[in-house]
Chain A
Amino acid sequence: MNTDILIIGAGLIGTSTALQLAMRGCRCIVIDKASPGRHASGSNAGGLRQLNRDLAEIPLSVAAAKMWHNIENLVDSDCDARFPGQIRVAENQSDMHKLEQRAAMVRSMGYQHEEMIGRKELFQIVPALAPHCIGALICREDGYARPYHALTAFRQKAESLGASFHSDCEVYNITQEGDGWSVRTSQGTYNSSIVVNCAGAWAGELAAQMQEPVPLTPKALMLMVTERLPHFVDPVMGAESRKLSFKQMQNGTLIIGGALVAKLDFEQERTDIDWQQLAASAKTVLDFFPQLQDVRIVRAWAGIEGFMPDNIPVISASHKANNAYHAFGFSAHGLQLSPVIGLIMAQLILDGLSELPIEPFSISRFNH
């Protein structure tokens, strides 16, 4: 099969890239060894967070936030996105101090989205919170979306503009042929002028095949969700010095996570829940919201995500070959960035450069 642009991986990143390319009139095919949204993009916590991002990601994250606020214009669906804010709570003076420093740093870069709030305002926003908390860093425009709905909306819009998605199509092998690429898959060979590696946790293997090995580590992140509860908290909650990530969705369920890592058999794509970690997480939640003690967890799961050593992604043209691009390794926060990554990739591919600063995400940064 021949195409102009072949995108490997139909997660949010590949799909968003296909959407932006299709919007600019390019013919592209997105292939996935499973089906769109089967991995991290369908199983994540849905958080849309600019708060406390790596400094290098701030410009991208701020641009992405603008896109999320108008997401219906982009993909004809609101993706169930809501913006009740995200909060990072301080439990003591040392937390407070760190958060104040952070806020000052972000302001000094010319951004206003992160601000400090004191105890009084914190409890106005989250009356249910345990009384020992003393303040917080807040980003009022942050929120959450429903990931699989977002992914589906992105895909449908891309398809309506001419992009094709092929499921059950696993890449075995990528070789350069002249200026283009020959990609052998479980469904035959694709010849494409350009390839884009958006293979999430599996992107390391593909990058290696493209002669650009990267230190990517696949990890399985766990989440747990409760039964539906009466409404009791609006913003997405985090804490400065504890593993807490916690939100109440529109339907009343709580999604609890926060860098909890499951046992992973990457070859078999099998994850085993680590209950000790979830237990510690449950304890943390109860420290902040003791009134939740009788609330029941109905489901836990783990999603496989690619992590880079510096916890920021690779967003880059290949440094080894022409007509090859990479966007992967989002290290557990790629949902929020996904709309803007598509934009950046389309610019990189079609214009040769991006309007946003992406040097920190170069694929060659691990070479020295």
Chain B
Amino acid sequence: MRDHYQLIIIGAGPAGLAAAVTATNHGISCALLDEQASPGGQIYRAIESAPATRAQVLGSEYQQGKTLAEEFRACSVEYFPECKVWSLNSEREVGVLYKDQSKIISADQVLVASGAIERPVPFPGWTLPGVMQAGAGQILFKSAGVIPSDGVVLAGSGPLLLLLAWQYMQVGVEIKAMLDVTPHSNFLSALTKFPRALLAHHYLTKGLIYQRDLKRAGIVSKMAVSNLKAEGNGELQSISYRHLGREHSIETGLLMTHFGVIPDIWLTQAAGCQHRRDSSQQCWRPQHNEWGNTSIDGILIAGDGAGINGVRSAEYAGRLAVLQALFSLGVISQAERNQQSINPRKQMRKERHIRPFLEAYFAIPQNMLATTDKSTIICRCEEITAGEIRAAVDNAHGDSNQVKYLSRCGMGPCQGRQCANAVAHIVADAGGEAISDSSLFRGRPPVAPLTLAQLASLSAENAS
């Protein structure tokens, strides 16, 4: 690994891979850093190693990653897998942990393609063993061929839940129930976005096919489910919920939930990029322009890390951002940049027709984002409840960061990844204020924990 590159790409998902492929053959020094062992990011996880039968079950969308991964392997970009980026600053200095050595390298242009994480939505019992995120179930399946053996309850909202149900169905996993928390009112608000969504009707068709297949297999979602609870002594034993005005419960050792995905903004936050609250996507995301430029010169963002737009969009955004980086580096002219961007931009626009509809339809109900159930754990690491957070709001002057100082909420090893959103919503709700750009915790580096020895190796390296 060199000390300096003209371009560093962080993340080997569709955005980062497409970016790398676009950057190749321009004679620039370029590195792609990713924490996973192989290229693919979240959607194409283990794309190179998954056996053909498994890839088939995972669906056509997944298999498309194969070509991209092959193109990437053939390109000249230096690839560093199992390389964790633990810091990024406004000077475009990138702290990396590679082969147990920490190092700070720099670049003229940094493209952050960090992707998304699943939106953590706390509910009673969500910390019990046996409760996991649907994405976790999918990762187990994609990368290890590990699937539920005694059935599973799927709950939450969003396309990924449907996709997972369909994938599980193919391999004979018993789906005990599909509980959809999408309230009926979402249907109305989504209706106005429907005409535009028709312009990307292949997505709608795919959703309908999944639903049809599931229905044939006898799996039907219960709609507008509320009061989801996971119960059990030391591990999940049953779940309960409310549907059509009645309480129900199901015995299960496994519950997988999904509440949509949100951008992974830890790197852009660390760098000091400006972030905005996006009320439609119910998340915070780095401010950026049509080329992916953030508020900091030379730091670009592409893919779901910039705002959730899905896999195809991520690829196009990756290409556009690299064109911009190449232009900034003086490698291509403005005319070349513009010319080469026409097609990806057009495609990207087409892809995005579906988003407003999906965002409105799958919007998470406010009472789940800002739970009023005082005993629900919000901070999984420090085991801080919603009640404790609400109690701290006054003394913390309605500021999430000061709620953190008082309660230790967000001070555990996950650095607030699992609680930041919920805390922001609860603090705003308790203080009677609207959620805002600054409701999130301030980022605290390092982006990933480093051991003292790993950190010390930075200084040893510099001395030599």
Enumerate chain A interface residues (CB-CB to B < 8 A).
35-38, 42, 148-149, 152, 156, 167, 225-228, 251, 270, 272-273, 275-276, 278-280, 282-283, 285-286, 292-301
Give every chain B residue within 8 A of A297 (Cβ-Cβ).
446, 449-452, 455
Whether a CB of chain A sits under 8 angstroms from the CB of B411 is: yes
B412 is contacted by which of A152, A292, A298, A301 (Cβ under 8 Å)? A298
A272 is contacted by which of B89, B452, B456 (Cβ under 8 Å)? B89
CA distance A251 to B411 in the complex (A): 11
Give every chain B residue within 8 A of A226 (Cβ-Cβ).
452
A227 touches B459 (CB 8 A): no
A227 is contacted by which of B90, B102, B413, B455 (Cβ under 8 Å)? B413
- 15 A-B contact pairs sorted by A residue (CB < 8 Å): A37-B402, A167-B397, A226-B452, A275-B455, A275-B458, A279-B458, A279-B459, A282-B459, A283-B456, A293-B451, A296-B449, A296-B452, A297-B449, A298-B411, A298-B415
B interface, size bucket: 20 to 34
**Given the contacts A275-B458, A283-B459, A148 and B397 also touching, CB distance less than 8 Å:** no
CA distance A152 to B405 in the complex (A): 11
Nearest B residue to A153 via CB reads B395
Query: Which residues of B from 154 to 178 have beta carbons under 8 Å from A?
Result: none
B272 is contacted by which of A270, A279, A292 (Cβ under 8 Å)? A270
Give every chain A residue within 8 A of B87 (Cβ-Cβ).
273, 275
For the complex of A and B, list the 9 residue pairs with the smallest distance between their C-beta atoms, beginning with the closest.
Answer: A279-B459, A148-B405, A279-B458, A296-B449, A293-B453, A35-B397, A282-B455, A282-B456, A283-B456
A81, chain B: closest CB distance, angstroms: 16
**Given the contacts A35-B397, A35-B399, A299-B415, A286 and B406 also touching, CB distance less than 8 Å:** no
Give every chain B residue within 8 A of A42 (Cβ-Cβ).
402, 405
Whether a CB of chain A sits under 8 angstroms from the CB of B462 is: yes
Whether a CB of chain A sits under 8 angstroms from the CB of B193 is: no
What is the predominant secondary structure among interface residues of chain A facing chain B? mixed
Whether a CB of chain A sits under 8 angstroms from the CB of B318 is: no
A152 is contacted by which of B89, B395, B449 (Cβ under 8 Å)? B395
B417, chain A: closest CB distance, angstroms: 11
Give every chain A residue within 8 A of B352 (Cβ-Cβ).
none
B462 touches A301 (CB 8 A): no
A282, chain B: closest CB distance, angstroms: 4
A286 is contacted by which of B104, B395, B415, B453 (Cβ under 8 Å)? B453
Give every chain B residue within 8 A of A228 (Cβ-Cβ).
412
Give every chain A residue within 8 A of B446 (Cβ-Cβ).
297, 299-300
Give every chain A residue within 8 A of B406 (Cβ-Cβ).
148-149, 152
Query: Which residues of B from 413 to 455 have beta carbons under 8 Å from A?
Result: 413, 415, 444-446, 449-453, 455
Whether a CB of chain A sits under 8 angstroms from the CB of B95 is: yes
B460 is contacted by which of A148, A283, A298 (Cβ under 8 Å)? A283
B364, chain A: closest CB distance, angstroms: 28
B455 touches A299 (CB 8 A): no
Give every chain B residue within 8 A of A301 (Cβ-Cβ).
444
**Given the contacts A298-B412, A301-B444, A275 and B104 also touching, CB distance less than 8 Å:** yes
B445 touches A276 (CB 8 A): no
Enumerate chain B interface residues (CB-CB to A < 8 A).
87, 89-91, 95, 102, 104, 272, 395, 397, 399, 402, 405-406, 408, 411-413, 415, 444-446, 449-453, 455-460, 462
Nearest B residue to A151 via CB reads B405
B451 touches A295 (CB 8 A): yes
CA distance A298 to B410 in the complex (A): 11
CA distance A251 to B462 in the complex (A): 34
Nearest A residue to B458 via CB reads A279
Give every chain B residue within 8 A of A270 (Cβ-Cβ).
272
Nearest A residue to B462 via CB reads A276
B413, chain A: closest CB distance, angstroms: 5
B449 is contacted by which of A38, A276, A283, A298 (Cβ under 8 Å)? A298
B444 touches A300 (CB 8 A): yes
A33, chain B: closest CB distance, angstroms: 13
Known contacts A37-B402, A227-B413, A301-B444; 14 additional CB pairs below 8 A are: A35-B402, A38-B402, A148-B402, A149-B406, A152-B406, A227-B449, A272-B89, A272-B272, A275-B458, A276-B104, A280-B459, A286-B456, A294-B451, A295-B451
**Given the contacts A42-B405, A275-B95, A299-B411, A293 and B452 also touching, CB distance less than 8 Å:** yes
CA distance A181 to B104 in the complex (A): 51
Give every chain A residue within 8 A of B395 (Cβ-Cβ).
152, 156
A224, chain B: closest CB distance, angstroms: 8
**Given the contacts A283-B459, A297-B455, A298-B413, A273 and B445 also touching, CB distance less than 8 Å:** yes
Give every chain B residue within 8 A of A285 (Cβ-Cβ).
452
B456 touches A299 (CB 8 A): no
CA distance A277 to B412 in the complex (A): 23
Give every chain B residue within 8 A of A149 (Cβ-Cβ).
406
Nearest A residue to B405 via CB reads A148
CA distance A272 to B445 in the complex (A): 9
Nearest B residue to A156 via CB reads B395
Nearest B residue to A35 via CB reads B397
B402 touches A292 (CB 8 A): no
A299 touches B444 (CB 8 A): yes
Interface centre among B91, B412, B455 (most CB of A within 10 A): B455
Give every chain B residue within 8 A of A38 (Cβ-Cβ).
399, 402
CA distance A301 to B445 in the complex (A): 7
CA distance A35 to B402 in the complex (A): 9
**Given the contacts A298-B415, A301-B444, A286 and B402 also touching, CB distance less than 8 Å:** no
Interface centre among B90, B412, B451, B458 (most CB of A within 10 A): B451
Give every chain A residue within 8 A of B449 (Cβ-Cβ).
227, 296-298
Nearest B residue to A149 via CB reads B406
B302, chain A: closest CB distance, angstroms: 24
CA distance A128 to B395 in the complex (A): 38
B455 touches A279 (CB 8 A): yes
CA distance A299 to B445 in the complex (A): 6
A158, chain B: closest CB distance, angstroms: 13
B452 touches A295 (CB 8 A): yes
A278 touches B455 (CB 8 A): yes
Give every chain B residue within 8 A of A283 (Cβ-Cβ).
456, 459-460
Give every chain B residue within 8 A of A295 (Cβ-Cβ).
451-452
CA distance A38 to B449 in the complex (A): 25
B62, chain A: closest CB distance, angstroms: 34
A296 touches B408 (CB 8 A): no
Give every chain B residue within 8 A of A279 (Cβ-Cβ).
102, 455-460, 462
Give every chain B residue within 8 A of A156 (Cβ-Cβ).
395
A142, chain B: closest CB distance, angstroms: 23
A282 touches B462 (CB 8 A): no
B410, chain A: closest CB distance, angstroms: 9
Nearest A residue to B90 via CB reads A272
CA distance A173 to B444 in the complex (A): 33
B367, chain A: closest CB distance, angstroms: 28
B453 is contacted by which of A152, A294, A298, A299 (Cβ under 8 Å)? A294
Give every chain A residue within 8 A of B452 (Cβ-Cβ).
226, 282, 285-286, 292-297
B451 touches A276 (CB 8 A): no
Nearest A residue to B87 via CB reads A275
CA distance A270 to B442 in the complex (A): 11
**Given the contacts A276-B458, A301-B444, A36 and B397 also touching, CB distance less than 8 Å:** yes
CA distance A294 to B453 in the complex (A): 6
Give every chain A residue within 8 A of B412 (Cβ-Cβ).
227-228, 298
Give every chain A residue within 8 A of B95 (Cβ-Cβ).
275
Give every chain B residue within 8 A of A286 (Cβ-Cβ).
452-453, 456
CA distance A297 to B446 in the complex (A): 8
B350, chain A: closest CB distance, angstroms: 39
